[in-house]
Amino acid sequence: MKHLKKINALLACVLFAVSAYAETVMISVETDNVSMVMGTDKSGELLFYHFGGRIADVSAFKGFRSYRRSDYGTDPMAYPAAGGRYFNEPALAVEYADGYGNTELKYVSHKVVRIDGNVARTEIVLEDRLTSLKVVLVYTSYSREDVITCHTEILNGGKKPVTLKSYYSSSLPVKADKYFLTHFYGAWAREMQVDQEMLTHGIKTIESKKGVRTTHTENPSFMLSLNADGFDENYGEVIAGALAWSGNFRISFQMDETDELNVLAGINPYASEYRLERGKAMVTPDMIYTYSFAGAGQATRNLHDWARRYGCYDSSVMCPALLNSWEGAYFDFNTKTLTDMIDDVKDMGLEMFVLDDGWFGNRYPRNDAKSGLGDWETNVSKLPEGIDYLVRYAHDRGVKFGIWIEPEMVNPKSELAARHPDWVVKSAGREIPQIRSQWLLDLSNPEVQDFVFGVFDRTMQMAPGIDYIKWDANRHVESFGSEHIDRQSHFFVEYVQGFYEVLRRIREKYPEVIVQACASGGGRVEYGALKYFNEVWTSDNTEALSRVFIQYGTNMIYPACVTGSHVSAVPNHQTANVTPLKFRFDVASAGRLGMELQPKDMTAEEREFARKAIASYKEYRDLVFYGDLYRIHSPYGKGDHYALMYVSKDKRRAVVFAYCLRYQGRALVPQFRLYGLDPDMRYSLKELNVDKSRFWGAGKVFDGTYLINQGINPQLMKVYDSAVYYLEAE
Ligand code: GLA
Instruction: pLDDT band for 22, please (50, 70, 90 cuts).
Output: low
Q: What CATH number belongs to 630-729?
A: 2.60.40.1180
**Pairwise pLDDT comparison (15 vs 216), residue with the higher score:** 216
**Integer CA distances (angstroms), 466 to 352, 373, 455, 504, 633, in order:** 11, 21, 14, 19, 40
**Does position 645 have pLDDT exceeding 50, yes or no?**
yes
Instruction: Say how many CA atoms lie within 13 Å of 11 toward its Cβ.
Output: 6
Q: What are phi and psi of 640, to 5 degrees?
A: 55, 30
The residues pairing with 655 across neighbouring beta strands, listed in sequence order, are 646, 726
**Does position 6 have pLDDT exceeding 70, yes or no?**
no
Query: How many angstroms is it from 394 CA to the middle of ligand 1?
Result: 22
CA Rg value for the chain:
27
The mean pLDDT value for 128-156 works out to 98
CB of 127 shorter than 6 A to ligand 1: no
**2-311 sits in which CATH class?**
mainly beta
Q: How far apart are CA 10 and CA 535, in angstroms?
A: 59
What is the percentage of the chain residues whose pLDDT exceeds 90?
93
Q: What is the pLDDT of residues 23-54, one digit of tens each?
A: 899 999 999 999 999 999 999 999 999 999 99
Ligand 1: nearest atom to the Cα of 520: 8
Substitution candidate for ligand 1 out of 331, 520, 573 with most atoms within 8 A of CB: 520
The mean pLDDT value for 244-263 works out to 97
Query: How many angstroms is it from 321 CA to the middle of ligand 1?
Result: 18
The mean pLDDT value for 531-552 works out to 98
The mean pLDDT value for 274-279 works out to 98
Per domain, the residue ranges of the chain are: 2-311, 322-629, 630-729
Q: What's the pLDDT at 14? A: 37
CB neighbour list of residue 477: distance below 8 Å, 6 or more residues apart: 210, 211, 212, 425, 440, 492, 495
Q: What's the pLDDT at 691? A: 86
Substitution candidate for ligand 1 out of 188, 213, 368, 404 with most atoms within 8 A of CB: 404
Q: How far apart are CA 645 and CA 91, in angstroms?
A: 39
End-to-end CA distance of the chain: 90
**Does position 13 have pLDDT exceeding 80, yes or no?**
no
Instruction: pLDDT band for 373, please (50, 70, 90 cuts).
Output: very high
What kind and span of H or E run contains 155? Answer: strand 147-156
What is the percentage of the chain residues whose pLDDT exceeds 70?
97
Residue nearest to atom 6 of ligand 1 (CA): 357
3-state secondary structure of 533: coil
What type of residue sits at position 502?
V
Q: What's the pLDDT at 144? A: 98
Query: How many angstroms is it from 472 CA to the middle of ligand 1?
Result: 7
Query: How many angstroms is it from 459 CA to the middle of ligand 1?
Result: 18
**Does position 182 have pLDDT exceeding 50, yes or no?**
yes
CB of 472 shorter than 6 A to ligand 1: yes
Q: Are 543 and 512 in contact (CB under 8 A)?
A: no
Q: What is the pLDDT of residues 284-318, one digit of tens each?
A: 999 999 999 999 999 999 999 999 999 999 999 99
Substitution candidate for ligand 1 out of 327, 540, 565 with most atoms within 8 A of CB: 540
| Fold matches, 2-311 and 630-729 | no
**Does position 138 have pLDDT exceeding 60, yes or no?**
yes
Ligand 1: nearest atom to the Cα of 356: 10
Q: What is the pLDDT of residues 473-509, one digit of tens each?
A: 999 999 999 999 999 999 999 999 999 999 999 999 9
What DSSP letter does each residue of 657-670 carry, written as one string? EEEE-S---TT---
CB of 356 shorter than 6 A to ligand 1: yes
Check the CA dihedral 65-71-72-76 and report its sign: positive
CB neighbour list of residue 83: distance below 8 Å, 6 or more residues apart: 90, 101, 102, 103, 104
CB of 331 shorter than 6 A to ligand 1: no
Residue nearest to atom 8 of ligand 1 (CA): 520
3-state secondary structure of 119: strand
The mean pLDDT value for 564-574 works out to 98
Burial class (CB in 10 A: 0-12, 13-18, 19+), 18: exposed
The least confident of 3-7, 424-428, 704-708 is 3-7
Instruction: pLDDT band for 69, please (50, 70, 90 cuts).
Output: confident
**Does position 176 have pLDDT exceeding 60, yes or no?**
yes
The mean pLDDT value for 169-197 works out to 98
The mean pLDDT value for 273-281 works out to 98
**Does position 21 have pLDDT exceeding 70, yes or no?**
no
Residue nearest to atom 11 of ligand 1 (CA): 520
Q: What is the pLDDT of residues 647-663, one digit of tens each?
A: 999 999 999 999 999 98
Looking at every residue in the chain, the average pLDDT score rounds to 96
pTM of the model: 0.96
Architecture of the domain delimited by 322-629: Alpha-Beta Barrel (3.20)
